[in-house]
Structure 1
Amino acid sequence: MRRKRSAAARVVQGTVVRRVDRYWRALLSTVAAVGLVLGALISLPGAAQAAGSLPCDIYGSAGTPCVAAHSTVRALISSYNGPLYQVTRASDGATANIGLLSQGGYADAGQQDAFCGNSTCAITKIYDQTSRHNDLTPGPAGTSGMGADRGADASELSVTAGGHKVYGIWISPGVGYRSSGAASGVAVNGQAEGAYMVASGTHVGSACCFDYGNAESTPADTGNGHMDAVSIATTCYFAPCTGSGPWVEADMENGMFQGDNGSNTANTGNNSTYVTAMLKNNGQTTYALKGGNSQTGGLRTQWAGALPTRGGYRPMHQEGGIILGTGGDNSNWNMGTFFEGVMVTGYPTDAAENAVQANIVSVGYSGETDVPNGPQGTITGPGGQCVDVAADDTGVNRAAVQLWNCQSYAEDQYWTHHANGSLSTIGRCLDIIGNGTANGTQVELWDCNGVGGQVWNQRADGSLFNPQSGRCLDSPNGATANGTRLRIWDCNGSAAQRFTLH
């Protein structure tokens, strides 16, 4: 069952640049922690970050180098000037790499806008910015019973970072990414590691699993302690929990842990528009969770203490795979929005983590994160209901197209009307079953292929007219109940055939 959520955006502008006199410059050469914090504070939104000031620079200077760095928003290493992600165009299968406006800077969203044009694009690769090439691609089917993952709609959510338009990764059920096997340099068999991600605190759910971090090398649950991923979700796996979340949690396989053996009532959650979620684990006895508002302020420690005493977690048994948006066995039922994240080897210092949070705040993230705001819009029909795809954003071929209560975060209620007359959502088109023309033929979702049964022309009376059949999109007998299956019928100008594209 879907639940509507709201968001409030707050713009944080800039950071304070302080003069450093000779005394402090001399001290900085020997006191690394102070250098880390000041390095993060001298970055300004709207420009490439200063050398040594980005998250992987900070972690590396503290002796915990990045082994993976992923973002569709910005460089996470000051020397990086390569691609951030790859998009694939639905109309012809062509691909394009989306890079940076400048070295160490922000994504060139204009590249994506120009390439995707009147088609839709999916994010089909997220490049690792480290030299290890731990790239992420849509994951294979796993033992959870779910099929292979699809890539996220590339234009689903745009926000502002560093004063520039950028795109986040909108995760819906069925969307997810994974490394191929064990990733290079990622912790295994009880080695220490850390990770963070910047994600939405308003586009969240309670299903399994919106994770980023270490997972099995194959998409299967291989036992307790074989995962070590950070999550933000409304999942209260070990009761009691405080409030309704979302909470920053650790997915260590077979449990979403907030502290010690699971429950931790001191974790009060974080529902800010942007959330910094951090996890570190020494692999043997101890782990910590931290959360913060990515737009302002510092980090709050949610847990710093013992690993679970349940069997399998002391020591950990990580396998070194990397996941984004799913669980280790490819459980991909949850939702979330991802902007950036890294994984490091070793147990990060508090000073390094504080400096990373200061750098994140300096980015000036702004914009809502729970409402799709790309070129698509909703289609409302009889009773003010939305045109919706059955099965909650999974969008497979033959999925029923129906009426349902409008919900701001429901990806499959946002449609793009293309120049060729087609209407698409989650990478597929509104289609008449069997390319049929007879009265009463139902509509469904199907791969966009340019056939006549996928052409819909909006007419002055509000109807959506299909020229091939000579009939209109229709709600049987004007029904408005959730789950009403849509069809084609002789055009008659009734309320049952009035649809508004927003």
Structure 2
Amino acid sequence: LSNSGQEAAARTFNAAIPGIVQSKANSGKHVHLVDMHSKLTTGDLIDGIHPTANGYDKMAAAWYAALQSVPGSIGQSGGGTPSATPTSSANAIRGVGSGRCLDVTGVSQVNGTQVQIWDCNGQSNQQWTQTSAGELRVYGGKCLDVNGGGTADGTSVIIWDCNGQNNQQWRFNSDGTITAVGANKCLDVPNYSTANGVKLQIWTCNGQNNQKWTRV
């Protein structure tokens, strides 16, 4: 929305939606959240509200990605690469050292939002689905992502539209660590912290509890 007041109201309204959708899913409803707000900019709006042709193209791409993420929603097109399919149900991922869960800050669905540890609460921003492509998906179409494809110790971990790159591939190891495939480093809670809100990073794997995780 081009009007700042309307935009603020939309963000407030949108922040409530993931929890509502999750509550419906928890009660057995077949519902799925597709975030359109973060997909468009004011440049994609013809009059500040309605999308341009390019805006509609972006919306269509978001719907298609969401359909690909839901088992049975869409088939494989002829001869193409199979879509990433879930290999497990959505679960929280709890840090062994902190006892807190892998969490998208502020229940945001905006590309680039950092992930953190937070008290486990069962909300949609803590529900992660592992796929056949090695992704960890949240909200259906967002992936756990090593920022900028970085490989250096301390590189931040964010969410981003799922794109099949190796900075969005993760491997669960038998010792409880989770390796970022592209960087070959571990998902890490900095400085062994256990506090709510600590932002996560990748770091050279060392086998310590701040790099160990369990599905719950």
**TM-score, normalized by length of structure 1?**
0.29
1:377 equivalent in alignment to 2:98: no
- Over 3 Å counting, the alpha-carbon distance change for 1:483 and 1:149 in structure 2 is closer
Using the aligned pairs only, state the percent identity. Answer: 35
| Larger strand fraction of residues | 1
1:457 equivalent in alignment to 2:171: yes
Task: Tell me what 1:419 maps to.
Answer: 132
Letter in 1 for 2:25: L
What are the equivalent positions in structure 2 for 1:10-25 lying under 5 Å apart?
none
Task: Tell me what 2:113 maps to.
Answer: 399
Residues 18-53 of structure 1 deviation map (CA, whole Å, 9 limit, x = unaligned): xxxxxxxxxxxxxxxxxxxxxxxxxxxxxxxxxxxx
Task: Give me the whole-angstrom Cα distance separating, in 2, the residues matched to 1:492 and 1:431.
Answer: 21
Answer yes or no: is the 8 Å Cα contact 1:473–1:497 preserved in 2.
yes
Instruction: Compute the displacement of 1:169 (Å).
Output: 6.7
State which structure, 1 or 2, has the greater radius of gyration over its C-alpha atoms: 1
Residues 111-159 of structure 1 deviation map (CA, whole Å, 9 limit, x = unaligned): xxxxxxxxxxxxxxxxxxxxxxxxxxxxx67615245969967997054
Task: Give me the whole-angstrom Cα distance separating, in 2, the residues matched to 1:156 and 1:380.
Answer: 23
Task: Tell me what 1:489 maps to.
Answer: 203
**Structure 1 runs of 4+ off > 6 angstroms?**
150-156, 169-172
Answer yes or no: is the 8 Å Cα contact 1:476–1:486 preserved in 2.
yes
Q: Which runs of 5+ in 2 are unaligned?
A: 39-47, 50-87
1:432 equivalent in alignment to 2:149: no
1:388 equivalent in alignment to 2:93: no
Residues 272-329 of structure 1 deviation map (CA, whole Å, 9 limit, x = unaligned): xxxxxxxxxxxxxxxxxxxxxxxxxxxxxxxxxxxxxxxxxxxxxxxxxxxxxxxxxx
Instruction: Compute the displacement of 1:478 (Å).
Output: 1.1
Answer yes or no: is the 8 Å Cα contact 1:155–1:375 preserved in 2.
no
Task: Tell me what 2:214 maps to.
Answer: 500
Task: Give me the whole-angstrom Cα distance separating, in 2, the residues matched to 1:490 and 1:497.
Answer: 10
- 3-state SS of the aligned residue for 1:384? coil
**TM-score, normalized by length of structure 2?**
0.64
- Over 3 Å counting, the alpha-carbon distance change for 1:156 and 1:500 in structure 2 is farther
Instruction: Compute the displacement of 1:394 (Å).
Output: 2.3
Answer yes or no: is the 8 Å Cα contact 1:399–1:445 preserved in 2.
yes
Q: Which runs of 5+ in 1 are unaligned?
A: 1-139, 161-165, 176-217, 220-373
- 3-state SS of the aligned residue for 2:191? helix
Residues 333-369 of structure 1 deviation map (CA, whole Å, 9 limit, x = unaligned): xxxxxxxxxxxxxxxxxxxxxxxxxxxxxxxxxxxxx
Task: Give me the whole-angstrom Cα distance separating, in 1, the residues matched to 2:156 and 2:147.
Answer: 6
For the aligned residues, what is the CA RMSD?
Answer: 3.3
Task: Give me the whole-angstrom Cα distance separating, in 2, the residues matched to 1:376 and 1:449.
Answer: 19
Answer yes or no: is the 8 Å Cα contact 1:158–1:167 preserved in 2.
no
Instruction: Compute the displacement of 1:462 (Å).
Output: 0.2
Select 1:442's aligned residue among 156, 161, 164.
156
Residues 160-194 of structure 1 deviation map (CA, whole Å, 9 limit, x = unaligned): 5xxxxx4257799x79xxxxxxxxxxxxxxxxxxx
Task: Give me the whole-angstrom Cα distance separating, in 2, the residues matched to 1:500 and 1:471.
Answer: 17
Instruction: Compute the displacement of 1:487 (Å).
Output: 0.5
| Larger helix fraction of residues | 2
